[in-house]
Amino acid sequence: MEPAGAAEAEGERVTSPERLLQELRAKGTLPEPWRDAVASVPRELFLPDTIEVGEEIVSRGTSPERWRQLAYDDVALVTQVNDGGATRADEYRLPTSSSSMPTVMLEMLELLDVREGQRVLELGAGTGLNACWLAHRLGSEQVTSVDIDGALVERATRNAAAAGYKPVFVCGDGAQGWPAGAPYDRVIATYTVPRVPYAWVAQAPRGRIVTPWGGSFCHYSYAVLDVVDGVGRGRFTGSPAFMRTRPSRPHRGFLSDFLHHLDDGTESATTLNPYDLAGDFDALFYVGLALPDAWFHLVEADDGSGEATLWLLADDRLSWAAAEYAPDCRKYVVDQYGPRRLWDEAEAAYRVWQALGPTDTGPGRPHGRPERPARLAGRRAPRRRLSRPTGGRTLVAGFTRGADAATGAPRGGQTRRRAVAQRVSSWRLESWSLRRTAETWDSTVLTEM
């Protein structure tokens, strides 16, 4: 199928699917089976007139060149904030739909391992672009795509038609799957779930499920499950950052909305270097299993002191903790406030993780987090002043300084994540009993592949 719309020769060089192809090729993130789909489905047909990247809001009407350039950049573009409701300039902007980063879309499609002739269910239609990549490869009649937002479903249908595709777009909560179109060979979700709904397992009885998975603390993982005899088994891999399922979003807002009673915290000291926790992706993943309902934010000093504050913040906004890092210390000051002792919870989980022994590769992030919701957009988070730096030790690794696919750094995530999955399985078995129920995650067992 030919790309719809012919750009003038000059513009085409810089703002066409070919430019995106070049970028993906240069990064080594363009799998051959998907090359033709990326080349043939122009991303610009799927974008609204206003898109956001980081804190930049770009209107097609006033900045047509920038808008078109972004359309063919390998970046995630936010296409809706605050569920499409009116948003004041000073209001927090929660991204609620987007055109995902093409590299990440392709990574997921590779994990999905799609073959010709298969039927695919996508949860999270968004702009419709991913459904149309699938439709290009498999045929429109093989693809069903669900979104919880009716306005987005209508728009995705129009976008797809403009590009010459007709996958089935339907409105509903993806947690139910789409039984009318079952059975499917593949199920792909493009939002994060804290639990894999059993409907997905039931509707793909011999299929594969790929979904971003996790709670508030660390939702940077895919779960890849193969279904056999009514049970999905699989592994965690990658480090994507997707928006979360709408029915299960924690309170949103600026950091300042979560911080209160700053002078009333209970002070203690810890020997756990905040960077040891925040700088090790696998540790974060593991600790996230213990804190599915709290999140963290590391704020580094910009005064050259090398100091930093690691904030832990409960979704219910009742509890917070702050751990202060200072270079050359052996002990770190911790303040905790509220009914929960968030640092104690995180440290206890970290110590269990530590006791399990080293992973088979060193610390660092497998790759980037392009779609991490800009929860703190526009506001600088406070960093607490240190009262008493103590002891002596060196900085290990900065959370934001890990390897990144965008820079072509090696990924090497698979082996590590397999090790993590193993530990997670045993930890889950030790600490939580695996219940068998019809609807919940617990009926799908995560084991090493």
Ligand X SMILES: C[S@@+](CC[C@H](N)C(=O)[O-])C[C@H]1O[C@@H](n2cnc3c(N)ncnc32)[C@H](O)[C@@H]1O
> Least distance in Å: CB of 97 to ligand X?
3
Where on the phi/psi map is residue 177: left (φ > 0), alpha (ψ -120 to 50), or beta? left
* Contact assessment for residue 123 and residue 177, using Cβ atoms and an 8 Å cutoff: yes
> In terms of CB distance, is 45 or 294 closer to ligand X?
45
Is 100 labeled as catalytic in the residue annotation? yes
> In terms of CB distance, is 114 or 243 closer to ligand X?
243
* Contact assessment for residue 415 and residue 361, using Cβ atoms and an 8 Å cutoff: yes
Task: List phi, psi (to 5°) of 312.
Answer: -120, 130
Stretch that binds ligand X, among 93-101, 203-211, 292-300, 434-442 (CB under 6 A): 93-101
3-state secondary structure labels for all residues of 114-153: CCCCCCEEEECCCCCHHHHHHHHHHCHHHEEEEECCHHHH
* Angle separating helix axes 129-138 and 150-163, nearest 10 degrees: 40
> Can you tell me the distance from the alpha carbon of 106 to that of 31, in angstroms, rounded to the nearest whole number?
7
Q: Which two tokens stand for residue 312?
A: 């832990």
Query: Considering only residues 227-266, where is the footprint of ligand X by CB under 6 A?
Result: 242-243, 245-247
Spell out a b/e string for 272-304, using b for 16 or more CB atoms within 10 Å of the CB, else e.
bbbbbbbbbbbbbbbbbbbbbebbbbbbbeeee
Choose which of 16, 40, 97, 443 interacts with ligand X (CB under 6 A): 97
Query: Considering only residues 158-217, where is the footprint of ligand X by CB under 6 A?
Result: 173-175, 190-191
* Contact assessment for residue 393 and residue 329, using Cβ atoms and an 8 Å cutoff: yes
- Is 126 a residue that touches ligand X (CB under 6 A)? yes
Stretch that binds ligand X, among 98-106, 251-259, 309-317, 418-426 (CB under 6 A): 98-106
> Can you tell me the distance from the alpha carbon of 232 to that of 38, in angstroms, rounded to the nearest whole number?
30
> Least distance in Å: CB of 303 to ligand X?
37
- Is 152 a residue that touches ligand X (CB under 6 A)? yes
Q: Number of C-alpha atoms within 13 angstroms, CB side, residue 196?
A: 34
The DSSP secondary structure of 57-97, one letter per residue, reads EEETTT-HHHHHHHHTSSS-EEEEEGGG----TTS---EEE
Task: Read off the amino acid at residue 157.
Answer: T
> In terms of CB distance, is 246 or 331 closer to ligand X?
246
- Is 288 a residue that touches ligand X (CB under 6 A)? no
Q: Which of 16, 99, 100, 145 is catalytic?
A: 100
> Least distance in Å: CB of 382 to ligand X?
30
- Is 74 a residue that touches ligand X (CB under 6 A)? no
> In terms of CB distance, is 80 or 273 closer to ligand X?
80
Q: Which two tokens stand for residue 182?
A: 């079952």
Choose which of 23, 74, 107, 149 interacts with ligand X (CB under 6 A): 149
> In terms of CB distance, is 211 or 273 closer to ligand X?
211
> In terms of CB distance, is 97 or 237 closer to ligand X?
97
Q: Indicate the residue whose CB is closest to ligand X.
A: 126
- Is 100 a residue that touches ligand X (CB under 6 A)? yes
Choose which of 118, 127, 142, 443 interacts with ligand X (CB under 6 A): 127
Task: List phi, psi (to 5°) of 310.
Answer: -100, 110
Choose which of 40, 130, 142, 216 interacts with ligand X (CB under 6 A): 130
> Least distance in Å: CB of 195 to ligand X?
12
> In terms of CB distance, is 37 or 148 closer to ligand X?
148
Give catalytic residue positions.
Answer: 100
Q: Which residues bind to ligand X, rule: CB under 6 A?
A: 97-100, 123-124, 126-127, 129-130, 146-149, 152, 173-175, 190-191, 242-243, 245-247
